[in-house]
């Protein structure tokens, strides 16, 4: 039972460490490059802000977008592309256009009545959506606030430190108990030998 508990504790510690470091890394990236979506190993975490892809994507959902070669984009894929320096849009590809050796994509929001007015060129594509996490975007936005930073970085960090201190104190306590037991055993054995010599 203790082994299983220790195993679960180690897994939770690793997950907590991953959460702390990835959150810190994403915050650092967003501060250093505010006009570029933060990414980890080619994957970007983005928050859905509008209902143009409803009901498939709702405001507050988080999407994970993977960088890919524009030639691999197909009709039906959800791509994230830049419409200006600060704004990214995720819409569905409804047509792949190849003319005179040039590639472009016609896109449309699922909830929109018409296709997007401009074709998307490969240089504007940030990636393709891999999966979504419903409502997780609210957490992402919260993390960027001072309270969120404390809740997602400082507090888990303190939990990790407290856990390690507890482990160290437990180990020291075990060693001390073992030493006491050894001393008691040695004293008892010494007393028995002394008694035998008197006889």
Same structural domain, 138 and 166:
no
- pLDDT band, residue 183 (cuts 50/70/90): confident
pLDDT at 12 over 80: no
pLDDT at 37 over 90: no
Look at residue 193 and tell me if it is in a domain.
no
- pLDDT band, residue 163 (cuts 50/70/90): confident
Rounded Cα–Cα distance for residues 48 and 76 (Å): 19
pLDDT at 113 over 90: yes
Residue 108's pLDDT is what? 97
Give the predicted TM-score (pTM) of the model.
0.62
Cβ pair 174, 167 in contact under 8 A? no
Give the sheet arrangement for strand 43-47, strand by strand: 39-40, 43-47, 62-66, 125-133, 78-82, 88-99, 102-108
pLDDT at 165 over 80: yes
Residue 2's pLDDT is what? 61
Q: In this structure, is the dihedral angle defined by the CA atoms of residues 66, 68, 74 and 78, taken in order, positive or negative?
A: positive
Same structural domain, 10 and 46:
no
Q: Which residue has the tokens 């891999």?
A: 130
Buried b (16+ CB within 10 A) or exposed e, 95-114: eeeeeeeebbbbbbbeeeee
Residue 127: give the domain boundaries: 35-144
Nearest residue to 66 via CA among 29, 94, 41, 93: 41
The domain boundary residue, chosen from 96, 119, 144: 144
Quick one: average pLDDT of 97-125? 94
Look at residue 187 and tell me if it is in a domain.
no
> Percent of the chain at pLDDT above 90?
37
pLDDT at 191 over 60: no
CATH number at 135 reads 2.10.109.10
Peptide bond into 55 cis (omega under 30): yes
Greater confidence (65 vs 152) lies with 65
* Averaged confidence pLDDT in the chain: 81
Same structural domain, 156 and 137:
no
Rounded Cα–Cα distance for residues 82 and 72 (Å): 18
| CB-based burial label for 151 (10 Å; 0-12, 13-18, 19+) | middle
Tens of pLDDT, residue by residue over 134-152, are 988 777 777 767 787 777 6
User: CB atoms < 10 A from the CB of 49, how many?
Assistant: 15
Length of the chain (residues): 199
pLDDT at 83 over 70: yes
Residue 128: strand pairing partners? 66, 79
């Amino acid at each position: 039972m203790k082994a299983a508990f220790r195993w679960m504790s180690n897994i939770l510690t690793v997950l907590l460490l991953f959460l702390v470091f990835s959150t810190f890394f994403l915050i650092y990236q967003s501060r250093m490059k505010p006009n570029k979506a933060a990414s980890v190993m080619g994957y970007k975490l983005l928050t859905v802000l509008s209902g143009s892809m409803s009901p498939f994507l709702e405001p507050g959902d988080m999407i994970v977008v993977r960088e890919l070669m524009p030639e691999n984009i197909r009709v039906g894929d959800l791509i994230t592309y830049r419409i200006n320096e600060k704004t990214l849009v995720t819409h569905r590809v409804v047509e792949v256009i190849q003319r005179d050796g040039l590639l472009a994509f016609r896109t449309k929001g699922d909830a929109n009545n018409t296709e997007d007015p401009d074709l998307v060129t490969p240089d504007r594509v940030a990636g393709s959506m891999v999966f979504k996490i419903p409502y997780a975007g609210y957490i992402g936005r919260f993390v960027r606030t001072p309270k969120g930073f404390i809740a997602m970085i400082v507090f888990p960090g303190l939990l990790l430190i407290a856990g390690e201190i507890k482990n160290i104190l437990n180990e020291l306590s075990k060693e001390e108990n073992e030493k006491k037991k050894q001393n008691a055993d040695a004293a008892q054995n010494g007393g028995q030998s002394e008694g035998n010599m008197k006889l």
